[in-house]
Amino acid sequence: MSSNIPSQVEALAEPVAEEMNLEVVDVEFKKEGKNWFLRVFIDGENGVDLDDCTSVSERLSEALDQHDFIEQAYYLEVSSPGAERPLKKASDMEKAVGKNVHLTMYAPVNGEKMLEGKLTSFDGEKLLIERRVKTRSETVEVPYNKVASARLAVVF
- Please name the helix (run of DSSP H) or strand (run of DSSP E) that holds residue 41, with its range, or none: strand 35-44
* 145 has pLDDT over 80: yes
Domain boundary among 58, 79, 100: 79
108 in the same domain as 59: no
Tell whether 85 is covered by a domain: no
pLDDT tens string 22-40 = 999 999 999 999 999 999 9
pLDDT > 90: what percent of the chain? 85
Q: What is the largest CA-CA distance in the chain?
A: 58
Tell whether 51 is covered by a domain: yes
Picking from 98, 55, 62, the residue whose alpha carbon sits closest to that of residue 78 is: 55
DSSP line for 135-156: TEEEEEEEEGGGEEEEEE----
What CATH number has the domain bearing residue 39?
3.30.300.70
Higher pLDDT, residue 97 or 132: 97
Tell whether 72 is covered by a domain: yes
pLDDT tens string 53-63 = 999 999 999 99
What is the tally of structural domains in the chain?
2
Q: What is the DSSP letter of 45?
A: T
The pLDDT assigned to 133 comes to 85
pLDDT tens string 67-113 = 999 999 999 999 999 989 999 889 899 999 999 999 999 999 989 99
Q: What is the dihedral of CA 110, 103, 101, 29, to 10 degrees?
A: 180
Domain boundary among 46, 79, 112: 79
Q: Supply the range of the domain harboring residue 13.
A: 5-79
The pLDDT assigned to 1 comes to 44
75 in the same domain as 9: yes
The pLDDT assigned to 134 comes to 85
Sign of CA dihedral 142, 138, 120, 112: positive
What CATH number has the domain bearing residue 128?
2.30.30.180
Rounded Cα–Cα distance for residues 138 and 155 (Å): 17
Tell whether 84 is covered by a domain: no
The pLDDT assigned to 2 comes to 53
